[in-house]
Structure 1
Amino acid sequence: MSIDRICFSHWLLTALLVAPVVADDVQLTATTATASVDEVATWPQWRGPSQQGIAPNGDLPSKWSEETASKIQIPGNGGSTPVVAGDRAYLTSGVEGANTLMAIDLNEKKIAWQVTLGDDRGNKHRKGSGSNPSPVTDGRFVVAYFRSGDLACVNADGKKVWSVNLQEKYGEDTLWWDLGSSPLLVNSMVVVPVMQTGPSYLVALDLATGELKWKADRNTGAPEEAAQSYSTPLAVNVGGREMIAVMGADTLTLNDTATGEEIARMGGFNPDAEKYFRSIASPVAEGNLIVCPYSRGATLTAVDMEKLAAGAGRDAIVWHRDDIGSDVPTPAMRDGIVYLISDSKNNKGTVSALAGQTGKTLWEVSLPRSRVSYSSSPLIAGDQLMVTGEDAVTAVVGPIGAEANAQVVSVNEVADSDQYTVASPTPADGRLLLRTKSFLYVIGE
């Protein structure tokens, strides 16, 4: 056994000994395999390692069908996008009334293990479930969050390390619809946003032990449903200082990553105090620039975070558009270009590329006409963009870039008998994962 593996075994044993809760309800459906330190979390959280929706390896399949893809049946009901470490994908589902986290062996094409982490709660909306937030993983630990308030960590063998119920600890959930915010993995911490009618906050826990690192109130005064948000935080670096950016409840906030201290906030995203401007799409950031969808997909606002942190308030706005946006899908961003799929009734199915510094439209591509909408977020893969509809049909657009002559390269269907999907396409070491309501498709080998 190598020194690295000996050190890892000692480290993992120590983590288990200090864990506040030990699992006794792990359900195995296949032989488990111990994770090694050589495994890398290539897609550690929703929107990937940079949180910009960029595949680390751009060489992904661009054309597929039911016949060319493998699929694993997923029990229960959930909409979480998978995360990936090594040859394992992790996702959540409500199975027979229980919050369930499962590991999928991408080589064997089967569920390696599944573990129960509380009682399922959700299904208030046809797109929702109690298991919509994506897990996070560093390859050694996996943390899952559920609508019930259960936040729990397991090791790579599916053994529970710690758990806490945020609602029991900090107050009942008041969201009108099912939870959508995914945890953020940053600096060996898990950060969870709770933005709702009533007390709202950010909370950070130690990844390995579940120890509370900090809790920061986030009350904004937004009216009724506008106070509720389903977006996910971003880890950003502003002027050399690590911060957490959160968009929701009519407000953009910046908090210090280490302490939780609020550094800056900017309101005004809802000047007419509309009661129902709940926020679903998350922002996307590159450098000091953060681009924030809002107003149910009617507006898009770019903000200079360094100016905001310095106290500029709304003078930190770089540009604002009220003729384009995205209500549910989160934009992707690379090399100063913002890519988004419109899901509004008037512009549904339009892929747009915008210049990040000016907001100017560089090009647009209309996807094939469809009755369905878009809840999945787009994925940048090399010189192409992948966009999945709620019917699990994925359009590939390319080439992308500032001066590209972009067009629809392919339209790919799978034959899920219940094709409703809200999960985003996920890269996995040259393969593409597509989670529908009933299956996890593994595309490319």
Structure 2
Amino acid sequence: MPSRILLTFLPLACCLGLFFSSHSVQAENWPDWRGPNNAGISHEENLPTKWSRDENVAWKVDLPGAAGSTPVVWDDHIFLTSVDGDDLVLICLDTSGKELWKRSVGSGNRVVRGDEGNSASPSPVTDGKNVWCFFTTGDLACFDFAGKEIWKTNIQDRFGKFNIQFGLTSTPVLYDGKLYLQLIHSGGAKVIALNAETGAEVWQIKRESDATDECEHSYASPMVYDDGKLRFLLTHGADYSIAYDLENGKELWRVGGLHPPAGYDKTLRFVASPLAAPGLIVVPSAKRGILVAVKPESHGNITDKAENYFWKYETTPDVPSPLAVGDYVYLCRENGNLICLERETGKQLYEERTHRDRHRASPVFGDGKIYLSSRDGQVTVVKPGPKFEILAENKLDEEISASPAISGGRIYLRTFKALWAIGPK
């Protein structure tokens, strides 16, 4: 049984989400930064729509430092990475907000671009038995739920020094007993698979690209696609999205042509991660680039092969990753504009303004609502569908760059100061 909930089990997950929607019974787990299906979707009901600093808050726990990493939740355990002075730490809380343990994994925090991020930007991942955490220093560790270290290594020591302007912020993806990392930077781009239980290398491959300058740098995270028939690893950066065989790292297909047609932009580095939804791969680019909807069953270099695309769209979210709900694909631009496209055709149904501030977090969906988190701490709640409607605007007045996590009828918001549990006590 794979160590993360599979896309092929979405109907079953929906049923379980309905049955276990009560926090007092059992929560739907949120095992990685984009949730149980790695696509930003929760199947729980009765999620909060409105809150403030003193309304509809189950609890708030102050954190030792800032980070942009999303917490992960499994049953009554919450895990999140943080800085603590110069230390890089993994923190475990229970769902009452009590700290169970904190472990130092490395040191040497680096703050980038003033307020844009630090060495605790990658999110942890869990399978319900162990939890894995990665930092931009290359420190990678595995702990059990009691806080016992299972293994620890440094990826730079093993696979080469990172040469990337703002730090390697990519979150590893866990699947079927393996931990996959994309190391896309100027120092020699690689994709690696590790045995999740031991940290031993399963395979590594050189990631070929003709990207130059800052375009060699990627801040996106890999994804696993699994619709029950096709299964592959999707990596994103250095001008291409590339799919690899999960077992041996063989390249299956790649898509390029993501730069503006007017010329090569040497600073177009990818930040938003692709969306791997059943039957659909949504590939963003950056800045003034495009977005493409790719057929998962593609083969070879499909950059100029129109038959391998469902559609193309003229613009892209620069940082937040795409979201697909039902018949629609949603793109949250950095300025807070929300774009709704028809999933089947890519036709734009609307582009509407939400809160005008930087949006770094990726949108999530749950209980018939889309949640958009802005940098200044406001979460705008939007009704999905072909017509734009804001349901609520909620302010915490604390900076947020982490994507929300949903579990047990609560929304967990990690700000630069604290972890907030929004919902019933």
The TM-score with structure 2 as length reference comes to 0.88
Instruction: Show the counterpart of 1:27.
Output: none
Change (3 A) 1:43 1:297: farther
CA distance in 2, matches of 1:169, 1:131: 20
Q: Contact conserved, 1:199 with 1:219, CA < 8 A, in 2?
A: no
Rg (Cα) greater in structure: 1
- State whether residues 238 and 305 of structure 1, in contact with CA within 8 Å, keep that contact through their aligned partners in structure 2: no
Q: Secondary structure at the match of 1:294?
A: coil
SS in structure 2 of the partner of residue 296 of structure 1: coil
Tell me how far apart the structure 2 counterparts of residues 260 and 119 of structure 1 sit (CA, whole Å): 31
Q: In 2 relative to 1, CA 432–110 (structure 1 residues): closer, same or farther, beyond 3 Å?
A: same
Alignment match, 2:42: 55
- Letter in structure 1 aligned against 2:391: V
* SS of match in other structure, 2:214: helix
Change (3 A) 1:58 1:327: farther
Residue from 269, 275, 279 that aligns with 1:284 = 275
Structure 1 Cα separation of the partners of residues 200 and 51 of structure 2 = 45
Structure 1 stretches lacking a partner, 5+ long: 1-37
2:366 partner letter: A
More divergent stretch after superposition (66-75 vs 294-303) = 294-303
Task: Identify which of 318, 322, 326 aligns with 1:327.
Answer: 318
2:266 maps to 1:275? yes
1:233 alignment counterpart: 222
Q: Secondary structure at the match of 2:420?
A: strand
Contact map agreement 1:52 1:334 (CA 8 A) in 2: no
Amino acid at match of 1:134: S
Contact 2:26/2:408 (<8 A) preserved: no
SS in 2 for 1:305: coil
Provide the rounded CA distance (Å) in 2 between the counterparts of 1:239 and 1:78.
35
Which of 429, 435, 442 is the aligned partner of 2:414? 435
Residue number in structure 2 paired with 1:13: none
- Equivalents in 2 of 1:45, 1:135: separation in Å? 7
Structure 2 equivalent of residue 122 of structure 1: 110
Question: Aligned partners of 1:222, 1:310: CA distance in 2, in Å?
Answer: 18
Report percent identity of matched pairs: 32
Change over 3 Å in CA distance of 1:148–1:247 after alignment to 2: same
Cα distance in 1 for residues equivalent to 2:303 and 2:296: 10
Query: What are the equivalent positions in structure 2 for 1:57-96 lying under 5 Å apart?
Result: 57-68=44-55, 69=57, 70-96=59-85
Aligned counterpart, 1:338: 329
- In the TM superposition, what whole-angstrom CA distance separates every residue of 1:318-360 from its partner, at most 9, and x where no partner exists? 22222x32101111112242112111xxxx2211211122111
- Report the CA distance shift for 1:142/1:421 in structure 2 as closer, same or farther (over 3 A): same
Q: Which has the higher contact order (CA 8 A, sep 6+)?
A: 2
Deviation at 1:365, TM superposition (A): 3.3
Q: Within 1, Cα distance between the matches of 2:304 and 2:236? A: 14
Query: Which residues in structure 2 correspond to 1:233-382 (within 5 Å)?
Result: 233-237=222-226, 240-270=229-259, 272-296=263-287, 298-306=289-297, 308-309=298-299, 312-315=302-305, 316-322=308-314, 324-343=315-334, 348-368=335-355, 370=356, 372-382=357-367
Aligned residues: 393
Q: CA deviation at 1:229?
A: 0.4
Instruction: Indicate the residue corresponding to 1:113 in structure 2.
Output: 101
Instruction: For 1:277 and 1:215, locate their aligned partners in 2 and report how far apart those are by CA, in whole Å.
Output: 26
Task: Report the counterpart of residue 4 of structure 1 in structure 2.
Answer: none
Deviation at 1:183, TM superposition (A): 0.8
3-state secondary structure, aligned to 1:168:
helix
CA deviations over 1:158-191 (Å, ceiling 9, x no partner): 1110111010111111010033211101111111
Which of 75-84 and 258-267 deviates more? 258-267
1:394–1:238: structure 2 CA closer, same or farther, 3 Å change rule?
closer
The residue type paired with residue 347 of structure 2 is K
Q: Deviations over 1:264-314 (max 9, x none)?
A: 2222223633211100000112223211111325421111121x2266553
Task: Give the Cα separation in 1 of the matches to 2:414 and 2:288.
Answer: 24
**d(CA) in 1 for partners of 2:411 and 2:281?**
27
- Alignment partners' CA distance in 1, 2:26 and 2:150: 19
Coordinate RMSD, CA, aligned: 1.9
Secondary structure at 2:287's aligned position in 1? helix
Q: Tell me the equivalent position of 1:384.
A: 369
CA-CA distance at 1:261 after TM superposition: 1.4
Give the deviation of 1:239 after TM superposition. 8.4
1:444 aligns with 2:404: no
> What CA distance in whole angstroms lies between the structure 2 residues aligned with 1:174 and 1:41?
38
CA distance in 2, matches of 1:375, 1:216: 30
> 1:23 is matched with which residue?
none
Q: Which runs of 5+ in 2 are unaligned?
A: 1-24
Cα distance in 1 for partners of 2:390, 2:324 equals 19
Work out the CA distance in 2 between the residues paired with 1:58 and 1:239: 26
Scaled by the length of structure 1, what TM-score is found?
0.84
Q: Distance in 1 between matches of 2:319 and 2:119?
A: 18
Residue number among 170, 173, 193 corresponding to 1:204 in the alignment: 193
Q: Distance in 2 between matches of 1:246 and 1:357?
A: 23
* Structure 1 position 238, deviation (Å): 6.8
Cα distance in 2, alignment partners of residues 142 and 302 from structure 1: 32
Taking a change above 3 Å as real, the CA distance of residues 424 and 172 of structure 1, as seen in their structure-2 partners, is same
Cα distance per residue 1:216-248 (max 9 Å; x no partner):
211312011001101111111378231011121
Q: Distance in 1 between matches of 2:339 and 2:124?
A: 29
Structure 2 residue matching 1:247: 3-state secondary structure: strand
Q: 1:8-54, CA deviations, whole angstroms, 9 ceiling, x for partnerless residues?
A: xxxxxxxxxxxxxxxxxxxxxxxxxxxxxx98871111111211110
Letter of the 1:65 counterpart: S
